[in-house]
Structure 1
Amino acid sequence: MNSQKNHINKAMQGAMILTLAGLLTKIFSAAYRVPYQNIVGDIGFYIYQQVYPFYGMSVILATSGFPVMISKVMSDYGYGHSIKVRSKIMTITLLYLIAFGMTLSIFLYILSAPLSIFMGDIHLEPLIQLASVSFLIVPFVSLLRGHFQADQNMNPTATSQVVEQGIRVSFILLSSYF
């Protein structure tokens, strides 16, 4: 009974940590848009709005989609097993995620010209190609987050979420200023 209560408390604590991190990232995301649009103007904001969904897909996969899957697999098949078994599960998972990430990246890169034409602006092609690179990072971020989440340790996930958002917002504002 005590073990189950401890498990529930840890899960609740993890949920609270992830909720706070999610709120902070949403605040960052909302706060930078006004200065960003003031810096780049309507055309720059239009470009951002057109290309960001491609990057956003990779963020969703890396922050919630794959880590939850990895956590579930590790909980179901790795919990209570040796480090060797857990490492094998993580290695196989990483290989699948790398193949998936590369496939998505290549697919988006190759289809960047037709997509930009479909979107009505051929000048978006190099920006879509740049966004395709983000899918190459997804496997590694997902694996780390999923590993920690399987151990009910949400602090690294929450910290990386806030740090990533801070870096992203800073990079966007600094690069648009220059």
Structure 2
Amino acid sequence: MKRGFDWAAYLDRVHQDRPGLTEDVMRRLRAGGATPYRWLARAVSPRATEVLDVACGAGAMALELASPQRRVIGVDVSVAQLEWASGRAPGPFVCADGRRLPLPDASVDAVVSVFGPVVIQPAAALFAEVARVLRPGGVFAFIAPTILVARPGELARSLQLVARLRSRPR
């Protein structure tokens, strides 16, 4: 990022002007009949009753994870996104920064995030907060784009891991 660029202001403008933009793009991506939201939801155990969605945006993950026995708490810094989310999914939705989550220590079973580690900077602060609010044995699952292509050696190692686990990556 170039020096002097105001990332927070930029994100705020994008969210004000185009709430739901990320969801529009993500819903177009499909593989195996599922969207990235479904892929991410598969990482959350059905036994998880308290789930936190960091950088929840317009609430797509809350919709994907909703069930009668589960509470999905959405956190985002964008009021425009949260207004849209609260009209679509049960919530609750909270306006807060992912680097300072308004939750007690060890209070959630799982944390999910679509692009959170990209938009919340420094990502290390987000990871520290996620570690703080997760219960022991909890899961942090996120989707973040990458421009790195796997090298042949990495591909070989991943195939060895698949063979060892006797399961395809999910």
Bucket of the pairwise TM-score, normalised by the shorter protein = under 0.3
Q: Which structure would you say has the larger RCO, counting Cα contacts within 8 Å and 6 or more residues apart? A: 1
Q: TM-score, normalised by structure 1?
A: 0.26
Higher helix share: 1
Q: TM-score, normalised by structure 2?
A: 0.27
Higher strand share: 2
